[in-house]
A and B are shown apart, each in its own frame.
Chain A
Amino acid sequence: MSKIAEGLLYSESHEWVKVDGNVAIVGVSDFAQEEMGDITYVDMPDIDDEVTAGDDFGALESVKTSSELVAPVSGKVIARNDELEDKPELINEDAYEAWIIKVEMSDKSELDALLNAAAYENIAK
């Protein structure tokens, strides 16, 4: 059974969002890392890149497959977790600790379209 962290928002494509003022911290759910298996590479955008809600902003690679990362909100990338470049397996170890990017949101109302932990539980199985 995969873990679902309380207090985060989730997308149907299995990204999580932690809201910190105007900044969205984005990662992938424990369910997503379990489905992928051993993650071997994280393809991340550059700082200052613009991301658009619903569009892909990077990808996770496991041995067998790649899976696109879909932006849960729109805005500008203000940080990325460079530790994942050498240690992509951190996502397997703790998907909620291993954030991927931080986005300065251009439209906070996009958060309303995301799911809370209880609602996400219904699709993460």
Chain B
Amino acid sequence: MENLLKQTCLHDLHVELGAKMSPFAGYDMPIQYSGIIDEHNAVRHAAGVFDVSHMGEIFISGPDAERFVNHIFTNDVRTLEPGGILYGMMLYSDGGTVDDLLVYKEKEPQHYLLVVNAANTDTDYAWMLEQADGFDVKVDNRSADWGQIAVQGPEAEKAVCATLGFQEAAPLAFYTFCDCERDGKRIIVSRTGYTGEDGFEIYADPAHIRNYWNILLAAGVKPCGLGCRDTLRFEAGLPLYGDELTADISPVMAGLGMFCKLDKPEFIGKDALAAQKAEGVARKLVGIELADNAVPRAGYPVELEDGLQVGVVTTGYHSISLDKSLCFALVDSEYTALGTPLWIRIRKRTFPGSVVKKRFYQTKYKK
């Protein structure tokens, strides 16, 4: 099976560094290099660099581009200035989630870049083509041409602007980007990330990405794998498609309603979301903090004191930055108020905890 796995443009460098490699979203990806805890702490206190070249880049252009993106996307791109970025979802008409994604509004009118999850790139592309009927747009999946690295942490600005020389990225606010040209190639630098820290994501051709990766490592930026990418995003209260958002979990259930603009004239899934907001949903995503150090894992039952199951864990860790056992769980709505006592069944025992805010870690974005 291994030879069927795709490789990013940095694959040989991961192997050379001795990374623990594992299949993820059809790619052979680095899970860790020096260790998840060490890499996690580097991002919280200094800077780390992630290979996220597996992410999908789909370009939308044409006379109907804005109308089309607003048709498939829950957030409202009419509010975007060129160089601005919005987070949101694509939905099925029943409100279930196709994917969560970033939309970049380019300088050129009616041009957008949609950055989607690696595991969903093919499904998303097919979904977009299907929905494009009747719109005068070009939907162009360029994922194979673009590499991507994420540089994250309090020292990320120094690494990207000084070490890599992207001085033009220094003034960027969170969720904005700039176009940089190097050696005749287009390079996109955005102030975005998935860690709860300040940071940048750099999109470029494979040769430039390899060069930037090597320069950053030589400057002491720590290579970071998907292992700590998950612990970091979890602490910052960020969902992962497949765990906290799925075809069965709508953004309203996941507590992401603020990224769904029901005042837009229309978008796919709008009516279903409006009904969910009006009538309430059966289950909602919550954060739970345990009193004990036992670790809740995805799939473990959430119970009341008498053993009645009222939910299920979607992601859980013993948080590295907060030194507490925490999880996200999908729980029957009547038990989701902050402070509600809940128990988690971990193997043969249950451990008490209570509902807390999902953003466990105080995020440090550049405003």
Contact = CB atoms under 8 A, between A and B. Distances in A.
Q: Are A and B subunits of one complex?
A: yes
Interface of A: 37-38, 40-41, 43, 56, 58-59, 61, 63-64, 66, 68
Contacts of A41: 293-295, 318
A63 B347 contact: no
B347 to A, nearest CB: 6
B318 A40 contact: yes
B18 to A, nearest CB: 14
Interface stretch (B31-39, B80-88, B168-176, B177-185): B31-39
B304 interface: no
A63 B37 contact: yes
B317 interface: yes
A56 B347 CA distance: 9
A43 B346 contact: yes
Contacts of B294: 41, 43, 61
B293 A64 contact: no
| Secondary structure dominating the interface of A | strand
Nearest to A43: B294
B295 A64 contact: no
Given A40-B295, A56-B347, A64 B318 contact: no
The 3 closest A-B pairs by CB, nearest first: A63-B36, A61-B295, A40-B318
A50 B293 CA distance: 23
Nearest to B228: A63
B303 to A, nearest CB: 18
Contact of B320 (A37, A61, A63, A66): A63
B317 A63 contact: yes
B227 interface: yes
Given A43-B294, A63-B231, A37 B318 contact: no
A63 B297 contact: no
Contacts of B293: 40-41
Given A59-B347, A63-B227, A63-B317, A37 B295 contact: no
